[in-house]
Chains A and B, each alone.
Chain A
């Protein structure tokens, strides 16, 4: 099931090195590190978990399995905070 950012969440990137998510409803701010930023930008582009994991594995030289696990962990975290949803 594709994962999509919630409409009321704004992401602002800082030169690809990380960024800040703002939940406009709760006014809560969240920091994303460099890989979190890569994952979020992937979600914004409509990429699947597999697409994002593949991109991560090529950039950071980790196995696709390791990358997919990292992506799923962050997505689960974001879902708990109601920043993304399974469409």
Chain B
């Protein structure tokens, strides 16, 4: 959807009092009038019940809710008057590894807000890759904008929310160091999966983050090669290199405020353990709801499709190139994470 269509046929930035944005949320980071802008949407009374943030926006699209575009400073102004919840936990992941199931388990907690892969958050995080060198003023600005965005999305849109979870896009894992600087006391969980199985899953339906041509500069930073080289990588190598870097970033920043969960360990008990790690002690009803979601396919918003473990199927379907790329670029850092899980019990 273009900016022209999404803002009621207007691309004009507006000056708006921060008080007027109460119960409105930042939903996208765009370019308007040749400058970076934030798109806000009136989301009062909305619950984010779908597996992904954009699916919620699609559900309410027909309601023709208000939208406005502001410059970035509106975020900083709004943060000062916003009484949004602080995050109870962040969910990071290496893609196609059960993180949506964890988000759904968080959603099973009464009065929770779960923001899953909101483009506005991950686009701001992407700025760190291309436009926020360490120690620069821009890095500080993006940290502040990111904090303000997360705060704004934690508003009590229905009035009674009490827990707030944020799931990020897999590529944001590479910015874990900065994320931990912004939220030093918030627990983080990292979901990951065998690299061969993950590559097979991503090759079946290639996600945007693997399309280097969409944003070559960011892609190069994600994969760890130069920009000229990144578009010539095969999909297996691109994915394997990315996974290896996700695993290594988590390994390098691991401490007691972080919990690791391998896809192989996903179960009702491990979901409850994650909620406990986030400071939640589920009631009997909430635990029942978690048990229910643990049996379903997590990305089915109708909650009817039953989950089936496809690990062996994925390994059988993997090509020789996939095994070679996984071994070369991701296996050792994957093994290091598994060793950490074993040593932490």
Contact = CB atoms under 8 A, between A and B. Distances in A.
Interface of A: 10, 12, 14-15, 18-20, 22, 24, 27, 29, 31
Contacts of B206: none
B184 to A, nearest CB: 8
A10 B79 CA distance: 11
B280 to A, nearest CB: 26
A12 B73 CA distance: 10
Nearest to A13: B144
Most buried by A among B71, B77, B79, B141: B141
Contacts of A10: 73, 76-77, 80
Contacts of A22: 73, 76
Interface in B153-207: 184
Nearest to A27: B71
Contact of B143 (A14, A24, A29): A14
Contacts of A18: 140
A46 to B, nearest CB: 18
Contacts of B73: 10, 22, 24, 27
A26 to B, nearest CB: 11
B80 A20 contact: no
A23 to B, nearest CB: 9
A20 B79 CA distance: 13
A12 B76 contact: yes
A10 B73 CA distance: 9
The 6 closest A-B pairs by CB, nearest first: A31-B137, A22-B73, A12-B76, A12-B144, A20-B141, A10-B77
B140 A31 contact: yes
A15 B144 CA distance: 10
Most buried by B among A12, A18, A22: A12
A20 B143 CA distance: 10
B271 interface: no
B178 to A, nearest CB: 11
Nearest to A18: B140
Interface in B115-156: 137, 140-141, 143-144, 148
Contacts of B71: 27
A9 B311 CA distance: 55
5 contacts: A10-B80, A12-B148, A20-B140, A22-B76, A27-B73
Nearest to A22: B73
